[in-house]
Amino acid sequence: MQIVTALGMVCRKFLSPQSAAYRALTAFYQRLDSLKRQYSRNSITVAINVTQHCNLNCACCNQFSPLVDEYFYPVETFQNECGRLLAVGKQKISMIGFQGGEPLLHPQLAEFFDIARAYFDKYNPAGRICVISNGLLLLRQPESFWRNCKKNNVIINITNYRIRLDYNAMEMTAKKYGVQFEYIEDSGIIEKTTNRMPFDMAGTQDVKSTWRLCYYANKCINLREGKLYTCPTVQGAHFFNSYFGTHLEISEKDSIDIYKAKNIDEILDFLSKPVPFCRYCNWKAAQTQIPWRTSTKSISEWADAP
């Protein structure tokens, strides 16, 4: 699998996202990468959407952020969840990632860092913490934010969009405070593009085929309200339903309750298998490397016509 990882790095770092070679190699890489998700992982990164709303308005956002007015994850909820997750997972929880929406909108973000580091120190001192941001608010953060990042060894991971931001100043500020600063997927500054995975509103997709094609499954694992989801789409689909008045069914079988799971192996086994919700995801019709643009909040960004 090291060859698969190396191929992904080549795609991201050395080729233009708009080139035919990039698209071809990326498609090949994703097919190979899909083999990994069919097996229980030795360790996982768990993402928490500390906000669901955002200060950007990206078309086709896989977190459905343009459709959410405001959502802040409660610190108290995470306090309990993190303790349970690390007590069960220990060394097999390798990283906790705070994302959104835009995580820097959360006024208590530093408290999430403190909680995660305290439990990592107890159960897995090698555990890593990162915050995934669009960078719009990074240079407005007070000195206390940077010192907290340094104290808790938080990695700042930035996605570069087609907007004018002083990335050099971000890098220099992080360096000043001794905070690790990266661009998304360690690929350097890249031009942001959009992927579109349309819903099949009738839910007629074969779940096993969808699973094999899915880019997120058993890779982009999300924690919400005590449940782990194998991908971000399921955990955020209720926001889609709420905005458009649709009825994509989200059942108890689409997640695993961290408080009811007997051990980490049960959790990892669940995450490595398709879930019923996969029937709504039409990955055969997915579009990749679409130039980034703002959302019109049209349902067509996320769903094909029935």
What does the pLDDT look like over 153-197, one tens digit per residue?
999 999 877 678 899 999 999 999 999 999 875 444 456 678 899
pLDDT higher at 260 or 161: 260
The rounded distance, in Å, linking the Cα atoms of 181 and 157 is 6
Enter the pTM of the model.
Answer: 0.87
pLDDT value at 260 more than 80 = yes
- 35-89 pLDDT tens trace: 566 667 889 999 999 999 999 999 999 999 999 999 999 999 999 999 999 999 9
The DSSP secondary-structure symbol of 80 reads H
Between β-strands 227-229 and 128-133, what pairing exists: parallel, antiparallel or unpaired? Answer: unpaired
Return the pLDDT at 41.
81
pLDDT over threshold 90, residue 207: yes
Residue 97 pLDDT > 90, yes or no? yes
276 neighbors 184 (Cβ within 8 angstroms) = no
Q: Which residues pair with 7 in a beta bridge?
A: none
CA distance 129 to 208: 32
Q: What's the confidence (pLDDT) of residue 29?
A: 61
pLDDT of 5 strictly over 90: no
pLDDT-based confidence at 143, cuts 50/70/90? very high
Question: At residue 2, does pLDDT exceed 50?
Answer: no
At residue 184, the pLDDT reads 78
- Mean of all residue pLDDT scores within the chain: 88
Percent share of the chain, pLDDT over 70: 84
| pLDDT greater than 60 at residue 17 | no
The share of the chain scoring above pLDDT 90, in percent, equals 72
Average pLDDT of span 96-107: 97
Across residues 221-247, what is the average pLDDT?
96
Q: What number of other Cβ atoms are within 10 A of residue 150's Cβ? A: 14
Task: Specify the DSSP class assigned to residue 66.
Answer: G
- Smallest Cα–Cα separation from 77: which of 49, 46, 104, 45? 49
Dihedral of CA atoms 146, 152, 153, 159 in degrees, nearest 10, equals -60
Q: What pLDDT does 159 receive?
A: 85
Is the alpha carbon torsion for 220, 153, 102, 195 positive or negative?
negative
Residue 262 has pLDDT above 90, yes or no: yes
Lowest mean pLDDT, pick from 5-14, 15-24, 90-99, 165-174:
5-14
Q: Is the pLDDT of residue 20 over 70?
A: no
Distance CA 131, CA 30 (A): 25
Q: What is the pLDDT of residue 139?
A: 97
Question: Does the pLDDT at position 1 exceed 60?
Answer: no
